[in-house]
């Protein structure tokens, strides 16, 4: 069941990415495409899922994928719902809604203990720095809430701090839930 779910995650992300490339055609810009947190987190989660079909994956790596996909789903629901992010409907739905839910379900079905969750936060921080440095150079930002041109850097900073607080809380929640559920499963197996 878990391996099937992992394969479904991989195939959904692959199908959404191929769909995007085909539908966008000449408008597909690889550098911009891979500058979306959504794309990076989905590709990472898909690779982790595919690897997990064939061999065990570190709980730290799996937990990171869960955190990034949960963040993708929440940020989409809170900050991007109804915003035109130039993503065709199928890919938008798969990458922002379906895959985040499936990755969380997979974690809950096969939870693991994790440690040093603060390391998970290094990727979103590096992503933010990359985006804010690259944006003014190329005149393009992947998300409206990271673009300082309409409302200034203070607005971007407030949004980033809010997302960082949520991200930090989510990181510890993912770790806590995985650890508690893994302990519970362990206790049930040892008494069964």
Residue 7: its pLDDT value, please? 98
Dihedral in degrees, nearest 10, Cα atoms 3, 91, 32, 72: -60
Per-residue pLDDT of 73-92, as tens digits, reads 999 999 888 877 778 889 99
C-alpha–C-alpha distance, residues 131 and 143, integer Å: 9
Give the number of other CB atoms < 10 A from CB of residue 57.
18
Grouping H, G, I as helix, E, B as strand and the rest as coil, residue 84 is coil
How many Cα atoms within 13 Å fall on the side-chain side of residue 162? Answer: 12
Cα separations in angstroms, 103 against 62, 108, 140, 184: 9, 9, 30, 20
Report whether 2 contacts 110 (CB < 8 A).
yes
Residue 80: its pLDDT value, please? 87
Please say whether the dihedral angle defined by the alpha carbons of residues 123, 41, 153 and 134, taken in this order, is positive or negative: positive
Chunk the chain into consecutive blocks of 10 residues (it has 192) and report each block's average pLDDT, rounded to whole numbers: 97 97 93 96 98 97 97 92 81 96 97 92 97 97 94 95 94 95 81 58
Residue 88: its pLDDT value, please? 86
Residue 82: its pLDDT value, please? 80
Residue 146: its pLDDT value, please? 95
């Amino acid at each position: 069941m878990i391996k099937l779910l992992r394969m479904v995650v991989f195939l959904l992300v692959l199908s959404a990415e191929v769909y995007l490339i085909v539908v966008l055609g000449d408008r597909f810009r690889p550098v911009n495409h891979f500058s979306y947190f959504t794309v990076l987190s989905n590709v990472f989660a898909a690779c982790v899922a595919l690897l997990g079909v064939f061999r065990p994956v570190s709980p730290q790596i799996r937990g990171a994928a869960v955190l990034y996909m949960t963040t993708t789903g929440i940020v989409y629901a809170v900050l991007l719902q109804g915003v035109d992010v130039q993503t065709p409907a199928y890919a938008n739905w798969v990458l922002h809604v379906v895959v985040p839910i499936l990755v969380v379900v997979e974690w809950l079905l096969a939870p693991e203990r994790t440690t040093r969750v603060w390391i998970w936060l290094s990727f979103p921080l590096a992503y933010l720095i990359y985006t804010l440095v690259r944006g003014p150079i190329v005149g393009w930002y992947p998300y409206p809430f990271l673009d300082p041109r309409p409302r200034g850097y203070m607005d971007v900073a407030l949004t980033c701090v809010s997302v960082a607080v949520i991200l930090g809380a989510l990181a510890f929640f993912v770790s806590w839930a995985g650890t508690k559920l893994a302990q519970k499963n362990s206790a049930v197996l040892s008494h069964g």
